[in-house]
Structure 1
Amino acid sequence: MSQVTLAIPSLRDEQIQLRQGGLYWVALDQPSDAQVLALQFLVALSAQHRATLVWCGSNPEDRIGALDDQQGPGQLRVFEVPVPAMRSALESLPSELRRAAVAPGSQVLLMLPATSWQSFDTLQLQQWCERMRHWLRERGCTLLVLCHGQASSLHAELVRLNECLSGLAQLYRHDGGIRYQLHFWHSEQGVCGAQAFELQSLASGFGVVRDEQARPVPTRTDDQRLYLAQRSVLESTSTLSRQWKVFERRIDLLQQASLARAASVLIAIESDQQVEVLSRDLYALRERCGMALKVVVREMEPCLRYRDERLLMSCGANIIVPFGVSLSRFFSLVDSVQGQLWNRGRSGNDLESLLKRLRAPTMRGLLPPREFLSTLDQIYADACGEIEHQLLRLQPPPSLTIEQCLYQVTLRRFGDIATVVEGVCYVFLFACRSDGLESALGNICRLPWRSLFSDCQPLADLGELPRVAFLHALALPHEFRLAPDRTEATPRARSDLNAYTPRQTSPAITDYCE
C-alpha cells in the first residue's frame, strides 16, 4: 500500500508523510484553503486506502465532489456534524467512529472551525488528543485535523502538546504569499521541526515556491555600500561621502537604481496621489534587480494610509519611514536594513491582482444581508494577507432599538459596510488594523460606541457568521438608516475626529482606521 502524505510537491517525504496511528494537526486561516488541502490529501490516497471525512461548519462537498473514479481512496465515507453538536461530537469522536464502523487502517480527515475548541481548556484539549491517539494506535488508523480560522491561543496550546501530536503545522496567507510553517512532524523517515516554506497555488493544490532567498544575487554585488537618494529625503544635508549619489528627480533615481543589485535606494513620497505610480515603479524595480536591493521610502508629508503602506511594502519597499521622524533617526533606519533581503513573495500574483485586492470595493453604508455576505465572500476569497480587515458583531442594549443605534453610525469610507440580521448589527471595516479598532469605532459612531452597543465581538472569519440566517433574511425595513454623512460638525465632534485622525483628509476618504 502506498504511503499517506499531504502531497505538497517539492517537500521531502519526512516533511509530509503520515505514519499509521498518528494524529496530525494543520491550522489554516481560511476555510477555502482547508478545502484545497483536504482535496489534495484525498487525491493522493490510492485505491487500496479507505478514508472517512468528518466535517463541520465549512461545506467541502463542492471540492470533494471533484474526485473521480480514477482518483483518491477506494472508499470514502462522509459525515457532517452540526455546529451546535460539535462539542459533544468531539468528546465522543472515538465511540462515534467505532459506531460508524470505521475500518482498521483507515485514514480519518477531520475538518472543523477553530471556534469548535473555544470551550476546551488546556487540560481538556490534552486529554482529547491522548484519547484520540490511544484509539488511533489501537485501530491502526491515522487522523489528520484541518482546523480553519484564526486562533492564536489554541495554537499556543497545541505547540506544547508535542508528546500527544505526531505533527503540527500552520498554513496562512501573509504579505501576498502563502506560508507553511512546520513546527514538528513525525514520520517513518524520522522527525522534522522548525521549518518554513513559501507555497503557491497550483491546479493540483498547494506547491512549494522556489526559495528565492537561496537564489544567488545576479551579476555584481560590489554596490552594496552604495546609496542612491532623492535629494528631498536628505533635507538640508550636504556632507555626504563618495558612496552617496543624489538625484533631484525620482525618475533619474529609478533609472540609476535599475542598474544596481544591492545598493540602498532612498525615495521620497509627498502625496497619496503618488502611491499607485510609486508602487508600480517599485514592482518593476524588484523584477529587474532582485531582492538584495534595499528600498527605503520616506514620507515627507502625512499622506500614507495603512493600505498605502502595505501596498508599497508588497511591491518592493523594505521599510516605510513615517512623517515626523528626525533625519538622524532616518539614517539609523537606513542602516537597519543593510544586509537585508526583501522576501515578501508574490506567489505568482501579478501587480494588477495585488492592486485589486488592496483597492476598496466601490460601496459603503447599509446593505441587505445577502449583498453584505456576497461582498465579504468576494473580499475574503481574494485575500492574501497583505492587509487586515475588521468584521464585527455589535449587539444593541435592551434599552435601545436597532433603528436608534444605526442612526448614530456613519460609514464614510468605501468598503465599510453594515447590515442587520436577527436584531444584531454586523459591520465590516475595510483595511482596518486590530490596534486601530477602538479609534475606528469612535469615528463611525456619533455617540460613544459603548453607549450604543452592549457588546462588540470581532469575528475571525466568515465562518463565524450565521450564514443560513443571512441567506434567509428579508430586505431591510425602510426605517433602518445610518446617520447622514455630514461634513459639518459641532466643535466637540471635530475635536473627537481630530483625536483619531491627525492627518487631514476630505470626509469622503477619511482613513479613521490608522
Structure 2
Amino acid sequence: MAHSFSLGIRRIWQELSVMQSPGLYWVNIDRQSDANLFCRQIVAAQAESTQLALICSGDQADRLLATPLTSAINKVPLYSLPEKKAALLHLSDDLMRELKPTHRLLILLAHASLWQTFTSDELRTWAARLGKWLHQQQCTLVILSHGSGVNKLKGQLAAEHRILNGLASLQGLQSSAQYLVHWWSTGNGINANQLFTLSEGPEGWQGADDSDQPSPTPERNDESLCLAEKRILEGAPPLSASWQLFENNTKLMQRGMLTIAATLIFALYQSDEIDELAHQIHNLRRSRGDGLKIVVREMSASLRYSDERLLLACGANLIVPHVAPLSNFLTMLEGIQGQRLSRHIPADIDTLLTGLRPLQLKGYLPPEDFSRAVTSLMDNTLLPEDGKGVMVALRPAPGLSAQQSMTLCHLRRFGDVMTVAQNRLFLFLSTCRINDLDTALKFIFRLPVSEAFSNRVVWHQDVDIIDKIRLLRQQIEFSLPAATPQPAVAKMTAAARDQQAERREPVPFTLLSYGLEKQP
C-alpha cells in the first residue's frame, strides 16, 4: 500500500514533489499542453505496483495519449468525464461503480470551464464532500485544471486550505514555467508560499537547479522587508539592509510572490502601464493574502480618479501622487506598516475593468454617437456621482474652424471622446476631476489651449452634462458665453497705471543741417 505518490517533478524539494494518501490536491495550469505534460509525467513517475486511474473531460484523452512519456501510460485505466456539472457532482458515485478506488491514485484532467457554473459555496461543498469520500477510501485525487477560467478557480480556492491538502499553480513562460505552491501537505506538516522556476526536460517538468533535498524551514517574518522598483528612490541607494531594489515592476512582482507581509512599491510612469499594473497587483493580492502592503508611486502625471479606484479595488494599500516629494512618500510608507487589507477583492479582475471602465471608445465620434456614449457612461451606477467626467466646449480662435482644431487634439485614453457641433469642439474626458482639467488639456493638445481657442465652457456635474447632451442630441442650439478677452488686455493693473502716470512727456526738437543754415 502506497502512503504517498510522486508528482514526478525533479530538482525541487522532495516534500513538495509528493502527494500524501489520502488527500485531495489541485494544480491550476494556464496552458493545456503544459497540463498534458504534467499529467504524463505524474503517470510515468509511479511505481509499477501503483494502482492508477486517469479521468479526462471531453476529448482530451486523445491529445494526452498522442505523445506518452512511457509505455506505462497505456496500462492505466482511462475514463471519460462528460463536460457537465452533473458529472462532477456524481463523480464519487461513478467511481465506486466502475472500479475499486481504495488506495488508488486518481488523476482528473479537465478544462477549468467545467467548474464555471459553480459558485464559491457550491465549489467548497463539492470539494469538502469529495475530500471526505477520499478519506473513507484511503485514496488520493489530484485535479489538473487548465485553460480559460483558471484564474477564477485560483481565486475561489485561495482560502480552502481546510479542505484541500495542496494547491499549486503552473504558469507557462516563453522558455520555462513558474510553479507556485500556495500550500502543500507533507510528511512533516504543511509547506506554503514557495515559488520554483521549472524547465521542460526529457522526463517532463524539472527544477532549474539541483535541489532534491528536504525543504528548509522558510523565513516567515518578512514584515520588515521592503521591495521596490529602483527608480522610486530617485537615484538614492537602498535606505537600509531591509530594502531591495529591482529593475522593473515585473521582477518586483516575481519576488513579491515569495512574501506574505512585506511592503511592495511599484512605479508608474505612463497611463498605458495601468492595466498591466492592475493585473500584477490583483495577482499578488489574491495569491499572497491580506498581509502584503502594496504601494504605487506615481512618477509622472498619469492617474485619473478611475485609475486610482481600479488599483485600490485590485488590492493596493496606498497610491502616492507624483506631486509628493520623497520625504513625504517615506512618511506615507511608515503609516501603512502593520496594516492588513480588509477590503474584499473580487476573484475576476475583468469584473473590475468592466465596471470601472465601461466606455471603451476614444477619439472623434459623430454627434449622435458622442451623445449616446456619454449618456451610457452617465447611467453607470458603479461610478461616483459627479465624478464620471468633465465635458468641455472649446471655441476655436479666429481663422481656425472647429474641424481644423481636431488636428491639434490627441486623445490617448479610452473614455476620452470628442465631436464638433455649433462650430465648437466638444470634449468629454472620462473620470477626469475638475481640478485636473488643465493638466489633462496640456497633455491632449499640441498647442496651448489659450492660443488655439478663444474661450471654453466646462461642465462637471452629472445633471449639467446630461442636460447639455440632451440638447446636443436634439440639435437644439444652447447659449454659450462669448469669447472672454485676455485679462492682460481687458484690465490694466495698478502698477501699470502708476508707471504710465510717472512717464515724462516727450519734447519735440527741430533738427537743421549746417548747410541749410548758411542759405539766405
Q: Which has the larger radius of gyration?
A: 2
TM-score, normalization by structure 1: 0.46
TM-score, normalization by structure 2: 0.45
